[in-house]
Structure 1
Amino acid sequence: MADLIVRTEGVKWVLSVGEFVGDVYFSLRTKRRRGSADRIAQRMVADLGTGGGHEMMAGGKVTAVGMPHLSPGELTEILVARFLKAVKRRDTKAENLLAYSREAAVPGKPDSAEPSLEERKSGSSRIQR
C-alpha cells in the first residue's frame, strides 16, 4: 500500500500501519533520496519494538504481548505521533484510508473485519462489536 501511495503527486512520506493478532506492523516510504527512513523507523520503535530499513524504505513491528498496558490502537497512535514528529509534520492529521476497522477483526476469521461490497453499498455491516 505504501509503495503505491508514495507515487502520488505531492506526497513525500507515507506511513502505513496495520494490526495482526495483536501486533502492530508499519511500513515507511519516501521519495527523498536521503530520507533516513531507517533511522526514523528505529526512533519510532525505540522502546517498543524493532525497526529498520534503508534511506527510502523501512518498516517495523511492535509486539503487544510485551506491553499489556497498551492496546494495539494506542501503540498505533504512539507510532503515528513519533513519525509525524520525526518528519516535522506535527500539524498533520493521520488519515484512515480503509472503509472498515481492523479493530473489529476476529482472530481466526480472516474476513471478519471487511464488509462485502454489497454491505458497503447498503451501509449495513456484519461486524458485531
Structure 2
Amino acid sequence: MPTVIDQPVEARLVAAAPRMSSIPATLHYDRLDPFAVRMAFPAPATLEGVDVCWTFSRELLAAGLHGAEGHGDVRVRPYGYDRTVLEFHAPEGTAVVHVHSAEIRRFLRATSELVAIGTEHLHIDLDHDLAELMRDAR
C-alpha cells in the first residue's frame, strides 16, 4: 500500500483582472504526517518565482467543502457546488485560487483510504519524533 498521495489539480488563480489563469498545483498527503495536507505551486505560478508549498490540516480542507473555514494563513470555503476557494495569506499578500470540488473530494477519499479520519493518531510515531527533537536540541 502506498504511503504518499500526490494528486495534480487545476487551480484557477483569481487575479485583480477579470481573467482567471489556470495554474498547475499538487495536493500531497503522507501517512507519516497524517493530520496535514500540502498544496504545492510551481515557480512560474508564484510572485517570487520559486516553488511554494502550503501546509494545512486535512480537516480544514474537508470542512471547507461545506462552509467557510479557517482563521489563519489558510482559509477554505465552497464557491457554488462545483468549486472550492482556497485563500493563502502571507505578509507579501493573499493568493486566492479556485479548485474543482470534485478533485478535492477525490483527494480526500484517497487520503481516507490511506488513513481513516479519526485514526490519524495511530499513525504517529511519537517516540521517533521525540528522539529527533532531542537530537536537534543538542
Give TM-score scaled by structure 1 length: 0.35
Higher relative contact order (CA 8 A, sep 6+): 2
| Larger fraction in strand | 2
